Structure 1
Amino acid sequence: MAPYASDDSTTAGDVDEQRSGRRKAARYVVPVTVIGVAAATIGLVPALADSGDPDLPKITAQQLIEKIAKSDVQQLSGTVKISTDLGLPNLGGLESGLLSGAAGQGGSSADPTAKLTELASGTHTLRVAADGPDRQKLSLLENAAEYSIIHNGKDVWGYDSKSNEVYHGTSSKSPEHGKDRQPPATPKDFAEEALKAVDDTTSVTVDGTAQVAGRDAYKLVVEPKQSGSTVGAISVAVDAKTGMPLKFTLTPASGGAAVIDVGFTKVDFAKPAASTFDFTPPKGAKVTEEKDVGQGSEKAPGKAPGTAFGKGGAREHAPKAGEDFGKGLDGMKTIGEGWNAIATFDTGGEGVPSGGAGGDLGGFMDSLGDKVHGKFGSGTVFSTRLVNALVTDDGKVYAGLVTKDALVKAADAGK
């Protein structure tokens, strides 16, 4: 659907090695905090769709998931609203600086790697268009400005109207290009992540029907069977005709507003005009070429994405849940399975500095987390509404879509 999903690029080189570490960390933070829940596994519980409005033929959860898997929408245009509320602490503008720093690493405010990270918080409106695997466009609408990514054949353009900067990259032709994607931006991107693997740790039911963007849809509901997860439920509105997900909502076990709510407000499955994907840098715009940044990288950040359409997308390259969802971090292991899986690794150094030992830095870190104690010793838990992470004082990290108590228990068991 949208051309971009989670970025998996890495960098190398003496100077770039530190950047690589930061990018590697960001690469795992974004998927874990935004779509990590979708890696949880799904056990099918057949259920018939309840009668509702609209009145659609009955369908089982198994049949509906198969319908999603077979969906092969190649052409569309529409508007998507995405809201993300992870409950991240207020960093007093630091988060904006981090995003700006990421953009600076890419050499341009138009670099897609940094720009689309903004989707990890707040509410945004996107315009999307696609015409097969070689032509896609995604525009992030901002106040009096617009940011667009255009993939047309071998060319990938990023344009930031606010700064009048352009980023130009090239499309990956590798069959593994599905791994080289930006954060998800449409309901199908999220739904594909959620349906990558199935087992008996989750119940999946069909819970009636709905209308989304003027389309008749079935409602697929995914819920953990296990206790101790921070995930309450995932709801996916599936287009009755095409099988394409039109809306994705993730609610936390703690209640309240959705953590992730992304859905079409308008959608049209007609072929977009060819001119939709044309792009010429505006007069006076600063143009940054991909080859001028990320020198020596295995995959530069501007490499084009795979697409949620057609073959070779994320679904075909997705790891099964229960594997290390931080795969690629040296020494990372997984404790448990399904929704209660906890990733753990040893940083090889000291943990979070305390207020007494670390001065101002320690006090700042203490303010962001909760101090905990157990058989493992002591540590600090950093929490969002979805992902919790325990960093022990001796440098071990435990993170997952689980409660603080589950992390402490896992750390105790690791002693």
Structure 2
Amino acid sequence: MTENDSTTTTSSPLRRGGVRALAPLSVVAIVATGAALAPQFASAAPTLPPISPQNLLVKAAESNVTAYSGTVSLTTNIGLPALPDMSSGANPLSLLSGTHTLQVAANGPQKQRIALLDTMSEYDLVHNGTQVWLYDSEHNSVEHGSADHNTLTSGDHAKQDAKAKAEQLAKAPLTPQQAAQQLLAAITPTTGVTVDGTQSVAGRAAYTLVITPKQKGSLIGKVTIAIDYQNGAPLQVAIYPAGSGTPAFEVGFTSVSFSAPSDAQFNFTPPKGATVQELNGAGSKGTRGGEANGMNSESLAPQVLGKDWLTVVELHGVDLNALAKGAGSLSDPGQRDKHSNATGLFNGDPSTYIDTLLGAGTPVSGAFGSGKLYTTDFLSVLITNDGRLFVGSVTPSLLKADAAAQGMK
């Protein structure tokens, strides 16, 4: 038996600021699925010594697991229309919905490998020191970059690109460790924390930590994190919409070893006949939609509104017509080849899917002006006619209020 009636809200050793991390997870979510994975993970609940929420947080904070390898199952179900078959093989875009299998390995912050597996193909992201590799087996294509983090200069676009790839790989919530790190680092007085029994994940005994928002207006009902009894490592993370028993996002090990993987797992040599493209500032900006019709991270000027569980992200210069036009251009094979670069992420016809997304919004107006509102039980998105986009795991009324407040500035 474990304690399930104690709550801690303020003195967590993991408290390091607001729940800013929930925005990227929500949008995993956007950068960053139907069925819950519980049947794959669960077995008889082990009997473990009781532990308080505070002590379990300490156990997780003091965990020093930096080396592991195993198989991860990742499920996303944020209420978007079913994705079309944009590619016949492993495809990072597919992580926006459905259940997927990944092979993962890490040995410290400088050695990481994630392989998205499909029946007949895989997509690999490899970070080994200053080297970053992305490999698409279906198209036998490779992207490569080298980033010396100590000598990187602002004018070295190729190294900046490679450095960004490595940082994105390290932060993406594609493993339980990465997802839990963002969530646990965000515990504030607006968060309730309890221990709700035990569970077995990938054959390992774990406590179940439950994080609950206290702020009204959040669409997130709770977050559960399985904490390994022996080493305190996160084994599984699930984010539930309010009032739902089905996770909107769930990532967890189905098998895991905490022994250091061999260095061979992080060495990558392009296969024979592979097309190799060096990452560079000019070419990679247009890769996989990084700069669509003039929209990029700089022009969008992201701004964080609200705090904690009510965090909302505002983007600027979002043009629905340009998005629809861009999707239409990708329906043409010649344009797909031009924009998809080496990885071929736009195989198939995405225009119908984009049209479905854009057409699903509800026309709204208010102090923020007018635009379209898109809602699921996990996300609210408002795109105004003047090119602003607001997104967060908050109620539509709260999202519109944030947009109105911004419009009055």
Q: Place the TM-score, normalised by the shorter chain, in its bin.
A: 0.5 to 0.7
Indicate conservation of the 8 Å contact 1:352/1:392, yes or no.
Answer: no
Indicate the residue corresponding to 2:359 in structure 1: 367
Indicate the residue corresponding to 1:34 in structure 2: 28
Cα distance in 2 for residues equivalent to 1:175 and 1:61: 43
1:215 aligns with 2:200: no
Cα distance in 2 for residues equivalent to 1:334 and 1:134: 29
Cα distance in 1 for residues equivalent to 2:54 and 2:30: 23
Indicate the residue corresponding to 1:240 in structure 2: 229
1:126 aligns with 2:115: no
List per-residue Cα deviations over 1:265-287 (Å, max 9, x = no partner): 00111232333333322222222
- The aligned amino acid for 1:336 is G
Indicate the residue corresponding to 1:137 in structure 2: 113
2:167 to 180, 197, 211: 180
- Once the two structures are overlaid, the 10-residue window that deviates more, 277-286 or 329-338, is 329-338
SS of residue in 1 equivalent to 2:28: helix
List per-residue Cα deviations over 1:225-257 (Å, max 9, x = no partner): 122211111100011111110000011115252
Indicate the residue corresponding to 1:227 in structure 2: 216
2:50 to 45, 55, 58: 58
1:270 aligns with 2:259: yes
Identical-pair percentage: 40
1:198 to 187, 190, 195: 187
List per-residue Cα deviations over 1:2-58 (Å, max 9, x = no partner): xxxxxxxxxxxxxxxxxxxxxxxxxx99654126999xxxxxxxxxxxxx9322222
Cα deviation, residue 377, structure 1? 4.5
Indicate conservation of the 8 Å contact 1:390/1:398, yes or no.
Answer: yes
Cα distance in 2 for residues equivalent to 1:32 and 1:268: 29
Indicate the residue corresponding to 1:4 in structure 2: none
- Pairs within 5 Å for 1:7-406: 31-34=25-28, 53-90=45-82, 96=86, 116-174=92-150, 180-182=167-169, 183-255=172-244, 257-290=246-279, 293-295=280-282, 333-344=303-314, 347=317, 367-406=359-398
Indicate conservation of the 8 Å contact 2:100/2:117, yes or no.
Answer: yes
Indicate conservation of the 8 Å contact 2:213/2:221, yes or no.
Answer: yes
Alignment CA distance shift 1:395-1:294 (3 Å):
closer
Cα distance in 1 for residues equivalent to 2:72 and 2:238: 13
SS of residue in 2 equivalent to 1:181: helix
TM, length-normalised to structure 2: 0.68
Cα deviation, residue 402, structure 1? 0.8
Indicate conservation of the 8 Å contact 2:83/2:94, yes or no.
Answer: no
List per-residue Cα deviations over 1:188-213 (Å, max 9, x = no partner): 10111112233221111111111111
Alignment CA distance shift 1:36-1:92 (3 Å):
closer
Cα distance in 1 for residues equivalent to 2:71 and 2:111: 17
Indicate the residue corresponding to 1:17 in structure 2: none
Indicate conservation of the 8 Å contact 1:335/1:344, yes or no.
Answer: yes
Alignment CA distance shift 1:34-1:297 (3 Å):
closer
Cα deviation, residue 149, structure 1? 2.5
Cα deviation, residue 133, structure 1? 3.3
Indicate conservation of the 8 Å contact 1:33/1:386, yes or no.
Answer: no
Cα distance in 2 for residues equivalent to 1:133 and 1:410: 37
Alignment CA distance shift 1:148-1:408 (3 Å):
closer
- The aligned amino acid for 1:168 is H
Indicate conservation of the 8 Å contact 1:220/1:237, yes or no.
Answer: yes
Cα deviation, residue 259, structure 1? 0.8
Cα deviation, residue 79, structure 1? 0.6
Cα distance in 2 for residues equivalent to 1:351 and 1:275: 46
- Stretches of structure 1 lacking an aligned partner (at least 5 in a row): 1-27, 39-51, 101-108, 302-326, 354-359
Cα deviation, residue 261, structure 1? 0.9
Cα deviation, residue 135, structure 1? 2.9
- The aligned amino acid for 1:269 is F
Cα distance in 1 for residues equivalent to 2:301 and 2:112: 37
Cα deviation, residue 174, structure 1? 4.4
Cα distance in 2 for residues equivalent to 1:146 and 1:57: 41
Indicate conservation of the 8 Å contact 1:351/1:396, yes or no.
Answer: no
List per-residue Cα deviations over 1:329-369 (Å, max 9, x = no partner): 7765554332123334654x98889xxxxxx9999676220
Alignment CA distance shift 1:221-1:329 (3 Å):
farther
- The aligned amino acid for 2:235 is L
Indicate the residue corresponding to 1:43 in structure 2: none
Cα deviation, residue 396, structure 1? 4.1
SS of residue in 2 equivalent to 1:371: strand
- The aligned amino acid for 2:223 is I
- The aligned amino acid for 1:118 is S
Alignment CA distance shift 1:285-1:405 (3 Å):
same
Cα distance in 1 for residues equivalent to 2:381 and 2:303: 14
- Stretches of structure 2 lacking an aligned partner (at least 5 in a row): 1-21, 33-43, 153-162, 289-296, 323-350
Cα deviation, residue 384, structure 1? 3.6
Cα distance in 2 for residues equivalent to 1:340 and 1:152: 36
Alignment CA distance shift 1:200-1:376 (3 Å):
same
- Once the two structures are overlaid, the 10-residue window that deviates more, 240-249 or 142-151, is 142-151
- Paired residues in the alignment total 326
